[in-house]
Copies of this chain bind each other. A is one copy, B any other.
Amino acid sequence: MSDETVKYLLSESDIPTHWVNLLPDLPGDPVPPLNPATMEPAGPPDLTPIFPMSLIEQEVSPEPEVEIPEPVREVYKLWRPTPLYRARRFERDIGTRAHIYYKYEGVSPAGSHKPNSAVAQAYANQQAGVRSLVTETGAGQWGSALALACRMFGLECLIYMVGVSYDQKPYRRSMMETWGASVLRSPSDTTDAGRAQASHPTGSLGIAISEAVEVAAGDDESNYALGSVLNHVCLHQTVIGQEAMAQIPEEPDVVVGCVGGGSNFAGVSFPYVRRVLRGEAKTRFVAAEPAACPTLTRGAYRYDFGDTVGLTPLMPMYTLGHDFVPPPVHAGGLRYHGDAPLLCGLVKAGVIEARAYRQNETFEAAVRFAGTEGIIPAPEPAHAIRAVFEEAEAAKQAGEARVILLNLCGHGHFDLAAYDAYLAGELEDPEFSEADMDAALARLPEDVPAIA
């Protein structure tokens, strides 16, 4: 048999039994979130109104591994282990000697990596006796994942969907409703936060988070669920990197992914990052983000709120300002003003390198990928594919072989309007300006401590 196509499959018994917790391996003391009223580290009492204790414990766990509950692994088995491919056709098409591998998370029913955490969160809340989960969604990937997960564990699910996405992506809404979720357009008139933002009818992720947190905090039987940013969400995603490590037949020189809130990047990279932090490997890491929302490459490393209104603890992260509303690029999952604190710390420490890309160059890369590997990528991982192009080109210039591991975190079946615009030459290329940066800095919360 020839080896034109090579994919690496695992059996169900190879689904990881533990999540990888990077916290104990990080250099220096942990940098905690702060209660904005006291500027003291936020503790369990700040979080119990919206999260179950088991997730709070995961958020601050000192253990290097956290066991995956068996009922969560059972749901994972609906689509995990996900396949790892060697992208030979793509390699040939772009004329590289580099070996490119991609882990494909789009095989989940919701179409992305998001259910890895949604299922874990729904289970934890069900075990805590919670009746309903409330969340926000932008592009719809997270909302779809949580709708699915709640259906699997018999929870109700209420989703505040960013207004512009609600209008532009009715099929994502239908998907959530098919799995039994209720979907409201944000800003809505169901919350104080929503009513206060009625003058921004297109909404934003930050506004939708404010609405969801408000509802969860005000209802004893409801909790909130966040699809990225927090430690426990990054933790849940590490099944991706662990599986990839078991599948890939050679050691990757560089691990590449896209970053919005950071969860898929954390998922593929943290098992490898741990080896680097322990001095066991010299893997490089490249985080790709949109030039229109360049948090890691241009943001300030500061304490800032996770939401627009300021209901969340202050998080230590690269931020463009909590009320920054990014331009409407199609990679809706990357339109967030901050990033996971864990990831930000690793960027600050020089372990992870960040790069920003314009919208058109990412779609150019995605169309080329689709034409060789078949899969049509979501606009978010299209950024990572652009970075793979660059890595392959750099390897060629350096006369090096290079092994690249890419996380292809979702398919683009609900993003074809964006492909349509790209193919018609009608896709805009917004970029974050110096004026945007000045305005962002001016809006950061004052009187917050520097990050230690």
Q: Which stretch in A69-77, A200-208, A267-275, A297-305 binds the other chain?
A: A69-77
Distance between A411 CB and nearest chain B CB, rounded to angstroms: 8
Instruction: Say yes or no: is A409 at the interface (Cβ < 8 Å to chain B).
Output: no
Instruction: Say yes or no: is A433 at the interface (Cβ < 8 Å to chain B).
Output: no
Q: Which stretch in A131-139, A255-263, A314-322, A414-422 binds the other chain?
A: A414-422
Distance between A223 CB and nearest chain B CB, rounded to angstroms: 21
Q: What B residues does A174 contact at CB under 8 A?
A: 416-417, 419-420, 423
Taking a contact as CB atoms under 8 Å apart, the answer to whether A373 and B78 are in contact is: yes
Distance between A92 CB and nearest chain B CB, rounded to angstroms: 12
CA distance A151 to B93 in the complex (A): 12
Instruction: Say yes or no: is A7 at the interface (Cβ < 8 Å to chain B).
Output: yes
CA distance A74 to B174 in the complex (A): 36
Q: Is the interface of A mostly helix, strand, loop or mixed?
A: helix
Taking a contact as CB atoms under 8 Å apart, the answer to whether A5 and B74 are in contact is: yes
Given A1-B13, A1-B70, A2-B70, decide whether A417 and B171 contact each other with a Cβ distance below 8 A. Answer: yes
Instruction: Say yes or no: is A370 at the interface (Cβ < 8 Å to chain B).
Output: yes
Band of interface residues on A: 35 or more
Q: What B residues does A371 contact at CB under 8 A?
A: 151, 178-180
Q: What B residues does A71 contact at CB under 8 A?
A: 4
**Nearest CB in chain B to that of A75: its residue:** B5
> B12, B70, B178: which contacts A416 (Cβ < 8 A)?
B178
> B5, B175, B413: which contacts A78 (Cβ < 8 A)?
B5
Report A44-82 residues with CB < 8 Å from chain B CB: 70-71, 73-75, 77-79
Provide a sorted-by-A list of 24 A–B residue pairs whose CB atoms are within 8 angstroms: A1-B12, A1-B73, A4-B71, A4-B75, A5-B78, A7-B78, A9-B9, A9-B12, A78-B85, A79-B374, A109-B373, A109-B374, A109-B376, A151-B371, A170-B416, A170-B420, A171-B416, A171-B420, A177-B423, A178-B367, A178-B371, A179-B370, A180-B371, A413-B413
